Structure formats: C-alpha cells, structure tokens
Amino acid sequence: MANGNLTGRGAADVLRFYAEAGVDVALSEAPVDRFALSRAQADAAARRQEAAKQQRAEPRAPAPQRPATAPPARPAEPNLTVPSDAAVMAAREAAATAETLHALRATLEGFEGCNLRFTATNLVFSDGNPEARAMFVGEAPGMEEDLQGLPFVGRSGQLLDRMLKAVGLDRSSAYIANVVPWRPPGNRTPTPQETEICRPFIERQIALVDPDFLVILGGAAAKQLLKTNEGILRLRGKWREYDTGSRKIRVMATLHPAFLLRQPLQKKLAWRDLLSLKAALDGT
C-alpha cells in the first residue's frame, strides 16, 4: 500500500492506519511471514541449547596452573584514629609538658592524636610577635593558611590586617593563632572531638604568650575558650576574665573576618569592639 503522492493530512492518516494494524517496521513492499521467522528462530535457539548441553557434558582439561605471585603491595596508610577520651588526656599531658612556645610547636608537630594532621599540608601554629600585649585566636586555618603554614593569610587574613591597622596594630604588635592548628579537609567545620583534642594546646599557647588582652575571633572559637553555648552576637563586645593558669587576663569575643566578608553591614559591630581594644591598650 504505497502512494508517493500522499502529503500532509493524507500521509498522517495512512501512518495512523499502519500503526493500528500493527505495522511497526517498514522494510520493503513484499509481505513478510513473521510466523515463519518465529519458527525458524525457535529451531535455531533449540539447536544452540542442545549444543551447549553436549559441550557441558564433555570432560574438560584442567586449566593450567599459574605460578603463585604475591599481591601488589598497598601503599602505607596513615594511622588514622578517632579522637577518644584517652587521646584528649594525652593531648593535655603533652601540652602541659611544653615549657616554651618552641617546645609546644615541636610537640604539636609530633602529636598523632588528631586525624586532621594526616590530611593537612602544614601545621599552622602562629604568626606575629609572642611578646605582644594583644593576642588574637580564630577557629581553624583555611586553604591559604594550610599552604603557607601561617594563620590568617587568605581573604579573611587580609581583612584582619586592615582591622588591626585601623587601631594602630600589625603583625609585629599582635600575636595570632587558632584553636585548631590543622586545616580540616575542604574547610569543613572541625568536629567537637577534633576541637576538644586541640583545645589543650591553644590553652597552653595562650598561657605561654601571656598577653594582657585576648581577642577571640568568631563564635566557634569563643564557645571553646569561654566554655559557653551563647551565640557570637550575644558574646561579642564584652570584656571578661580568662585564667591563663598564672593570672587572669581580659578577654573579648568579636566577629570573625570571614563572617564580616559575608555580612559587611556587621563591620560596625567589629569596629566598636576594636575601639574597645584600642582604649584598653591605651589604658583609657
């Protein structure tokens, strides 16, 4: 049923008729006996099945034995451990033995109780002047900090430098560190276990620096060092006391530079906190 003159609606009607009649393949003008093909295919399948059955029944020669070879050696994996109470106690004991900042850094470089050290590129211990009267502590290093081994050198660090300059400070007159000295993979938030295991080291670091004023950058670090669950907007701008073990110093939480990059309108709050720090440094 061919008609080369069909176009438009007529052609559509013919195609609809073919579909309703069960025509699904257009091969040629000659009729095709589908039932005959089905029978031939069934016979061929039966022959293949019988041949396979005979092949399975025949005895097979044993496969040649391959010489035994040792499996390829796997590369050594770091001894990753899940922080536990015992690891936290070990961290406290290790931190307490450090009598100087140099010794504390060496202790951290050899400490294997925190998983983060196995994925970080560098230990990010500190930057600035350990004799400074003001110490700043953030939460954890990011990618740039991890690569350079220094805290606050990325975008947040550049903003922090401008903040310090606004009140007459720089890295020669301030000391900067983090609660967690290793970068978490992908800049994720450190887990409570990771933060807890690192806390003895930053506490010892603060005690060894013994600044007159401690400024905590961001809510995460403030909650750890001040041992509180209050949010940063409630914590910021208020002077408190921090016990270093040898004396009590003044401490204030403020907004983290990374938060200020996301929320520029909140810079006015950080500016008030910096002015309070400047007044304290000036003795007014």
Pick left, alpha or beta for residue 218 (phi over 0 → left; psi -120 to 50 → alpha; otherwise beta): left
Dump pLDDT digits (tens) for 123-168.
999 999 999 999 999 999 999 999 999 999 999 999 999 999 999 9
CATH number, span 85-282? 3.40.470.10
Phi, psi of 279 (to 5 degrees): -65, -40
> Whole-prediction pTM value?
0.71
What span, in angstroms and rounded, lies between the C-alpha atoms of 235 and 218? 10
pLDDT at 108 over 50: yes
Give the pLDDT of residue 79: 45
Nearest C-alpha neighbor of 166 from the set 260, 229, 72: 260
Please give the angle made by the CA atoms of 233, 239 and 242, to the nearest 5 degrees. 110
In tens, the pLDDT along 234-279 reads 999 999 999 999 999 999 999 999 999 999 999 999 999 999 999 9
Rounded-to-integer distance, Cα 214 and Cα 175, Å: 10
The residues spanned by each domain of the chain are 85-282
